[in-house]
């Protein structure tokens, strides 16, 4: 199976070093990563790193293999993929035919139950969103959103999205639209506009030898469906 980003993914987010002027024309607001990065020091306390299986959905072996294949198909266009994935769960969702809209609110952790199906979305920097539907029997118990993000370091070396900064406080105010139709074994994230995840405050040791206190900030990212063997 071969996954490919749609052309609109490439146009949605362009490296600020190469195409900030183009990005400004395509997005409603401009910034350092995706549509924007904004400082937000609102007293958020850093959470523990989302390591191990404590917070990850209970994927089956075949689902884990599919996710690894997707990660291999979408290497980061800037930076490196973070060593940890981060998962947030919700019971807020509205099914409508072959579409489901996940509304939140989201809490750190995964929904209890069996992972019935996974849905994949990709940003144009190849950040990956995997949404998993959890069921208990025939009832949907909730959805988990797992983010596999690419690192982003500023020109001055400031680590905006980095392994040293756990991600928390995920929100999707516009909702996450899932397509129940299956292509290449997975469903798709049709659209997740301007999702927000917060990097924890941290102390950054500047290359010139002095520490800088970095406040928590919001990274805003839009995800769309990828293409799989031209299926969608």
CA–CA dist 229, 223 (Å, integer): 19
Does the reported pTM lie above 0.95? no
In the chain, where are the structural domains located? 3-228
> How far apart (Å, rounded) are the C-alpha atoms in residues 110 and 87?
6
Q: What is the C-alpha to C-alpha distance for residues 70 and 74, in angstroms, rounded to an integer?
A: 6
pLDDT at residue 5, rounded to an integer: 42
Work out the angle at residue 39's Cα, subtended by the Cα atoms of residues 35 and 110, and round it to the nearest 5 degrees.
75
Q: Look at residue 104 in the predicted model and tell me its pLDDT.
A: 92
pLDDT of 77 reads 93
Beta carbons of 132 and 57 less than 8 angstroms apart: yes
- Tens-of-pLDDT digits for all 232 residues of the chain? 544 443 333 333 333 322 322 222 233 333 344 433 333 333 222 223 344 444 678 888 888 998 999 999 899 999 999 999 999 999 989 888 788 999 899 999 999 888 999 999 999 899 999 999 999 888 999 999 999 999 999 988 899 999 999 999 999 989 999 998 777 778 999 999 999 999 999 998 888 888 999 999 899 999 999 877 654 4
Q: Using omega within 30 degrees of 0 as the cis cutoff, is the peptide bond preceding 105 cis? A: yes
Q: How far lies 69's CA from each of 4, 31, 199, in Å?
A: 12, 30, 27
């Amino acid at each position: 199976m071969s996954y490919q980003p749609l052309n609109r993914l490439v146009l949605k987010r362009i490296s600020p070093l190469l195409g900030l002027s183009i990005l400004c024309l395509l997005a409603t607001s401009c910034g350092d990563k995706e549509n924007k990065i904004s400082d937000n020091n609102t007293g958020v306390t850093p959470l523990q790193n989302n390591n191990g299986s404590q917070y990850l959905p209970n994927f089956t072996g075949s689902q884990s293999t599919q996710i690894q294949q997707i990660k291999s198909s979408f290497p980061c266009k800037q930076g490196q993929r973070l060593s940890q994935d981060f998962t947030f769960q919700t019971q807020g969702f509205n099914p409508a035919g072959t579409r489901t809209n996940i509304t939140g609110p989201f809490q750190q952790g995964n929904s209890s139950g069996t992972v019935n199906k996974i849905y994949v979305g990709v940003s144009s920097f190849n950040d990956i969103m995997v949404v998993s539907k959890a069921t208990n029997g025939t009832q949907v118990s909730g959805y988990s959103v797992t983010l596999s993000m690419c690192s982003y370091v500023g020109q001055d070396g400031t680590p905006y999205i980095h392994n040293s900064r756990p991600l928390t406080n995920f929100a999707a105010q516009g909702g996450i639209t899932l397509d129940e139709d299956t292509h290449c074994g997975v469903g798709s994230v049709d659209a997740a506009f301007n999702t927000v995840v917060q990097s924890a405050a941290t102390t950054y040791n500047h290359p010139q030898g002095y520490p800088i206190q970095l406040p928590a900030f919001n990274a805003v990212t839009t995800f769309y469906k990828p293409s799989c063997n031209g299926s969608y």
